[in-house]
A and B are shown apart, each in its own frame.
Chain A
Amino acid sequence: MKKTNLIAVLALAATPAFLHAQTTSYSDVVGYSKYSLSAGQYIFSPTFVKTSLYTGSGTVSSKTLAVSGVTTSSLAPSSFTGSTPNYPRAYVEILSGSYAGVVFDITSVSTSSVTSADFPSDLNGQTVSFLIRQHVTLGDVFTPASGMAEYSDAITLFNSDGSTSIRYLAGGIVTTDDFETPAGHTPIYPGSGVILNIGGNVTLSLAGSVKSTIAKVPVYPGINNIVGTLDPSSGLMATSSTLATSLGAFTDSATLYSNNGAFSLQNFIYSDGESVTDDGFNAYNASNSPTIPSGAGLIVNVPSPSYIVLNSPVK
């Protein structure tokens, strides 16, 4: 994978997002990246998120947060009939407290509130700072891509329930593997990614906001969790990441594959509770640390549900 451009990274005046006034102005850092891929297999993890549509604070009541000044109808999940799958279109990202960095899908809306059925019970009654973004989707990433071969270049997602979703381009849009049912609205969760199998050269052009707060990427047992870096500007050294504390000591693993199309195994990454290690539990250091390239990711396997924390690349 060759990242050829990082053009027009504008650092706008950013104010901390956890001010309590609902009218707080929050400016994202925005950017643009191009990824040039040759034929082969890749982990691809989008490095941008979409612009925040709302920032504020409120008290969670019955899994609901009050909002104002935002068109909530655009935040509701899709509601296709027939065989077209439905997905959440937007999420609440908690910015304060123990769930800071965790995103929860918006599952229903009213004109003045958003609800997530996924809010854990211990959030009820808590006052939190939060923002709302729309999901980055497969259509955002792959419909404008150049070089994708319809019917043959495959996009694979590993779902949290253990199922696998496979998507293709057909007739100019992203579809399910029946090559007819629209599926461009399939979300790619922040910090997650897909497996991409391509037969020729493909260029992915991404633009969006650079996440300026931490992300907590959920990982689930029994599946191959794809975890990226959310850093559009440079690779992430394992020794500079939070993997030492995010991975369960001795039990959780992260696997780095090559991102030259060969998809050959490069490194195992474990934790001994203090440092990231190889599979002999020898600590990596700055001179031998695996590096996760921008746009690539790890396969993370865990025996129980947890989070991988990604620090913001915005310094």
Chain B
Amino acid sequence: MKSSNKQLFLVAILLISSFSRGWSAISITIAGVNSTSGQILDSKSQVVTSGFARVGKITGTIDLTKKDPTFANYQYWDSIFVDVNDPTTGTGTTLGGGGTTPSGWNFSGTGGLSSSSSGIASATYPLNTQLYIWAFKVSGKSLTANATAGSSSVFIPSLDTNDFTAGVEWALLTADEWKAPADLGTLSLTISQITALDTVQAPIFGSDLGNSITMIPEPSSGLLASLGLALVLFSRRRKQSTGDKELN
């Protein structure tokens, strides 16, 4: 066989054999089920029973001025957050890792997050890619479960202004350990791994509560809480001064 023909033959064979290779993919689990693994709680440290978590990488600037859950800030983060379970191809969608969408990434009645997305393209999330959880407390919105990797459909709901009017809390989290594994591997995003000692920005939005994390409240409720506290303090000062006058 001529050398050039042999080379073509070998290339053809390698192409054929490459098609028989399994999917080059990784899996990612969220471990946020109890006080031992850590949980994502709401701003009042209560379990979250409505909402969902997104997992992915960030392709833009981490801007801490955009930490409050507002629709404008949501649009910013949504534009740079690449989800592990968004389709890998198609138009009009956010191209992601093509992984499956587990129902366990919706907050359950017990407030836990668990289960895994599999079939995540390792080319999109190569080894040591920093990974993030973006968790939402929101009513009426949830991930649509899908066990098919590589689907071209979108299973992550979009939030709109009505959601933020009704009230959204969120947390954007990461940890030193949350780095994509090698091809074929599985990474657990364990909430208790988030510590103030992390070298990455951890948590980004949210408060560390020992093993668990609390979300950032909607800005209007925070403002009302501040106003309420100011009112109480003002009222106490008025009573004190009135009492002083009475004593006098």
- Chain A residues proximal to chain B, CB less than 8 Å: 41, 150-156, 158, 163-164, 166, 168, 170, 177-180, 195, 197, 199, 221-225, 250-253, 257, 262-264, 270, 279-281, 299, 301-303
Q: In the complex, which residues of chain B have a beta carbon less than 8 angstroms from the beta carbon of A153?
A: 188
Q: In the complex, which residues of chain A have a beta carbon less than 8 angstroms from the beta carbon of B185?
A: 41, 154, 156, 195, 197, 263
Contact pick for A224, options B22, B36, B104, CB 8 Å: B22
Report the number of A-B residue pairs with Cβ-Cβ less than 8 Å.
115
| Interfacial residues of chain B within 159-183, with CB under 8 A of chain A in the complex | 177, 181-183
Q: Is B106 an interface residue (CB 8 A)?
A: no
CB pair B29–A166 under 8 Å, yes or no, is yes
A303 vs B13: C-alpha distance when bound (angstroms): 12
**A to B CB contacts below 8 Å, 7 in the list:** A151-B190, A154-B187, A164-B119, A168-B188, A195-B186, A222-B23, A264-B182
A158 vs B23: C-alpha distance when bound (angstroms): 11
CB pair B27–A178 under 8 Å, yes or no, is no
Q: In the complex, which residues of chain A have a beta carbon less than 8 angstroms from the beta carbon of B13?
A: 250-251, 281
A166 vs B182: C-alpha distance when bound (angstroms): 16
CB pair B193–A166 under 8 Å, yes or no, is no
A155 vs B184: C-alpha distance when bound (angstroms): 11
Q: In the complex, which residues of chain A have a beta carbon less than 8 angstroms from the beta carbon of B190?
A: 151-152
Interface residues on B, range: 35 or more
CB pair A156–B27 under 8 Å, yes or no, is yes
**Binary contact readout B8-51 vs A (1 if CB under 8 angstroms, 0 otherwise):** 00100110110111110001010101101100000000000000
CB pair A177–B181 under 8 Å, yes or no, is no
Q: Is B115 an interface residue (CB 8 A)?
A: yes
Q: Which residue of A166, A223, A251, A262 has the most chain B CB atoms within 10 A of its CB atom?
A: A166
A152 vs B36: C-alpha distance when bound (angstroms): 11
Q: A-B pairs with the 5 shortest C-beta distances?
A: A224-B22, A154-B186, A303-B20, A263-B182, A151-B31
Q: Output the least CB separation between A287 and chain B (Å).
A: 23
A199 vs B192: C-alpha distance when bound (angstroms): 14
Q: In the complex, which residues of chain A have a beta carbon less than 8 angstroms from the beta carbon of B188?
A: 151-154, 168, 197
Q: Is B214 an interface residue (CB 8 A)?
A: no
CB pair B17–A253 under 8 Å, yes or no, is yes
Q: In the complex, which residues of chain B have a beta carbon less than 8 angstroms from the beta carbon of A156?
A: 27, 184-186
Q: Is B70 an interface residue (CB 8 A)?
A: no
CB pair B31–A251 under 8 Å, yes or no, is no
Q: In the complex, which residues of chain A have a beta carbon less than 8 angstroms from the beta carbon of B33?
A: 151, 178-180
A312 vs B23: C-alpha distance when bound (angstroms): 31
A195 vs B122: C-alpha distance when bound (angstroms): 15
Contact pick for A303, options B16, B36, B118, CB 8 Å: B16
- A177 and B19 contact, Cβ closer than 8 Å, known pairs A156-B185, A250-B13: no
Q: In the complex, which residues of chain A have a beta carbon less than 8 angstroms from the beta carbon of B20?
A: 221-222, 251-253, 301-303
Contact pick for B29, options A154, A257, A270, CB 8 Å: A154
Q: A178: nearest residue on chain B (CB-CB)?
A: B114
Q: Is B116 an interface residue (CB 8 A)?
A: yes
CB pair B116–A301 under 8 Å, yes or no, is no
Q: In the complex, which residues of chain A have a beta carbon less than 8 angstroms from the beta carbon of B31?
A: 151-152, 168, 179
Q: Which residue of A155, A177, A263, A270 has the most chain B CB atoms within 10 A of its CB atom?
A: A177
Q: Output the least CB separation between B170 and chain A (Å).
A: 23
CB pair B10–A280 under 8 Å, yes or no, is yes
Contact pick for B37, options A151, A199, A224, A280, CB 8 Å: A151
**Binary contact readout B201-221 vs A (1 if CB under 8 angstroms, 0 otherwise):** 000000000000000000000
Contact pick for B182, options A41, A151, A170, A252, CB 8 Å: A41
CB pair B27–A252 under 8 Å, yes or no, is no
Q: In the complex, which residues of chain A have a beta carbon less than 8 angstroms from the beta carbon of B184?
A: 41, 156, 195, 224, 263, 299
Q: B6: nearest residue on chain A (CB-CB)?
A: A281
Q: Output the least CB separation between A21 and chain B (Å).
A: 44
